[in-house]
Amino acid sequence: MRPSNEAILVIDVQNDFCPGGALAVEGGDQIVGPINALVPEFAVRVFTQDWHPVDHSSFASQHEGYDAFSMIEMPYGPQVLWPDHCRIGSEGAAFHRVLDVRAADMIIRKGFRREIDSYSAFFENDHETPTGLEGYLRTRGVDTITMVGLATDFCVNFSAVDAAKLGFKVSVVESLCRAIDLDGSLAAARTGMSDAGVKLV
């Protein structure tokens, strides 16, 4: 068992991000078994779940004339337009069936506000609206976080950088993550995480 000040953050291991899903990450299902094996080592265990209304503003279907994976400018900055995914209550939004969700102390749902996307487990994409996760971890006495999940270059990346900015010691286990790699986004994410002080292991 790791020390009580260490938490594991399991990010978005959901059906829509696994093979066959609406926004599938290649090999996304391959990390589930090893994550199940790692989670019990930690005293504090938090899982995140992408959780969008059907008309979420990050969906390409809500923007006439725009295709999935194109960019649009939102009030909070540039936004990738995604295929409809992780709609509230849908099978796609459910955790992968092999993931042992019983191990979670807490599940953080993000992206439920229609007008703003939320990659990070800590903040919406305006980088200001908190999810409440920081407060939970602080009250549990956590100062060190290990992150795993999907996808390396988006939700894992944003969560890791935000956690580091908040003063947590952060490690990302790259073998237990998989990336979308949109136009070089994986390389950019790895550089950004390293620059923020995140340890890539």
pLDDT tens figures, 140-186: 999 999 999 999 999 999 999 999 999 999 999 999 999 999 889 99
Residue 178 forms part of a structural domain: yes
Question: Nearest-CA neighbor of 6 among 163, 167, 142, 103?
Answer: 142
The answer to whether 196 touches 166, Cβ cutoff 8 Å, is no
115, part of any domain: yes
pLDDT value of position 90: 98
Q: How confident is the model at residue 97 (pLDDT cuts 50, 70, 90)?
A: very high
Token code pair at residue 142? 């956590």
Q: Could you write out the DSSP letters of every residue in 49-98? A: EE-B-TT-TTBGGGSTT--TT-EEEETTEEEE-B-S-SBTTSTTTSBPTT
Asked if the structure places residue 80 within a domain, the reply is: no
Range of the domain at 29: 6-53+95-200
If one counts the domains in the chain, the total is 1
Query: Which token pair is 129?
Result: 């609206």
pLDDT of residue 102: 97
Report, as residue numbers or ranges, the catalytic residues: 12, 110, 155
pLDDT, residue 101, reads 97
| Per-residue pLDDT tens digits for 55-78 | 999 999 999 999 999 999 999 999
Average pLDDT for 114-135: 96
> Could you tell me if residue 90 is inside a domain?
no
pLDDT in tens, 37-55: 999 999 999 999 999 999 9
How is the chain split among helix, strand and coil, in percent rounded to 5?
A: 25, 25, 45
Q: Is residue 47 part of a domain?
A: yes
Domain assignment present for 163: yes
Mean pLDDT of 97-115: 97
CATH of the domain at 23: 3.40.50.850
For residue 105, what pLDDT band results from cuts at 50, 70 and 90?
A: very high
58, part of any domain: no
